[in-house]
Amino acid sequence: MADARTRGTAFAPGKRLNVVNIYEPGPLEGRLEHWPVLAVSGALEVRLAETDAEVEAAQRLRYRVFYEEMSAVPSPAMREAGRDFDHFDDVCDHLLVVDRSVVDDDEQPAVVGTYRLMRDADAARAGGFYTASEYDITPMLTGMPAGTRLLELGRSCVLKAYRSRPATMQLLWRGVMVYVARFSVDVMFGCASFAGTDPGALALPLSYLHHFHQVPADMHVKAIPSLYVDMNLMPKEAIDPKEALRALPPLLKGYVRAGAGIGDGAVIDRQFATTDVFIYFPVSKIDARYRSRFGMAS
């Protein structure tokens, strides 16, 4: 892990650590009263990881959800550690939903939800964005005005017992929105996933996204040719939008309802046993209802 994080001090009350990402100067420096705790709902709070132990708790949650509850295939090192990890984790910020009424094996409040957040400054240190392994995002990056601030969203998951509790996902989103405001983010993007690797079984939702929610054509964000899976599996007139919307995973449904666009082509991720689509989410285009719900200024 990055040297800026200190092992063995997870959730230490009143202790502020020297973290590279979240304390660097920014447009809203000093305006947030609670940082890294971003929002609270009962026993749940959303916060940013500040220590190795907290990042590892997020990785253990990812392993439990992706590899034990779902069908992802871990590497031997991941299986031995019981954690999902890659080199991007060292440079990203990790958003956590913590249940303070439950303690984990380390006698710390349990991490029950997480998001991985990577800004363009972080991607430069990592050698690029994770999304670029599946999609050609170069036209998007080069076509944006100079100074556009980017945020890649990834590795989102919620513990099974908490998925039926709307507060968990709402807290994650409130945390993302506070983070977006803190760093004056202009555009969010990343990959969202369907469970399963058979596009035919996903013909309705994939076709719906293709016909009704494509990103602007001049962006030219397209799946890498060797990975490209056509999403145009049904004619537009054969699609019932309400039925198709119900077939979307909750996170993906939230994205499109809030105003996100979808790139050209899906990608089969064999390691995670998912079918991925590209999400493009200009902050200025977020639906007014979502702005109000998550406390964003209009």
Half-sphere exposure for 18 (CA within 13 Å, toward CB)? 2
pLDDT along the chain (298 residues), means of 10: 33 34 43 62 90 93 94 94 95 93 82 95 94 96 92 94 88 90 93 95 98 88 97 97 94 91 96 95 82 59
Position 277 in a domain: yes
Position 16 in a domain: no
CATH number at residue 263: 3.40.630.30
Helix (H) or strand (E) holding 257: helix 250-258
Distance CA 31, CA 213 (A): 36
Position 264 in a domain: yes
Distance CA 158, CA 110 (A): 12
Name the phi and psi angles at 197, rounded to 5.
-120, 20
pTM of the complete model: 0.85
User: What are the strands, taking DSSP E only, across the chain?
Assistant: 37-41, 44-48, 93-103, 109-119, 135-136, 150-158, 187-195, 222-223, 228-229, 261-262, 266-269, 274-282
Position 248 in a domain: yes
DSSP codes joined into one string, 155-176: EEEE-GGGTT-HHHHHHHHHHH
Token pair 């253990």 in the structure block, residue: 60
Position 202 in a domain: yes
Position 219 in a domain: yes
**Residue 21 pLDDT:** 42
Mark 281-298 as b/e (b = at least 16 C-beta within 10 Å). bbbeebeeeebeebebee
**Residue 107 pLDDT:** 78
Token pair 């749940």 in the structure block, residue: 44
What tokens were used for 287? 């639906």
The CA angle 213-217-221, to the nearest 5 degrees, is 85
Distance CA 277, CA 229 (A): 10
The tally of domains found in the chain comes to 1
Distance CA 241, CA 210 (A): 12
Q: Which domain holds residue 197?
A: 37-293
Position 4 in a domain: no
**Residue 220 pLDDT:** 84
Position 65 in a domain: yes
CB atoms within 10 A of CB 239: 18
Short-list 145, 154, 156, CA closest to 282: 145
Distance CA 83, CA 77 (A): 9
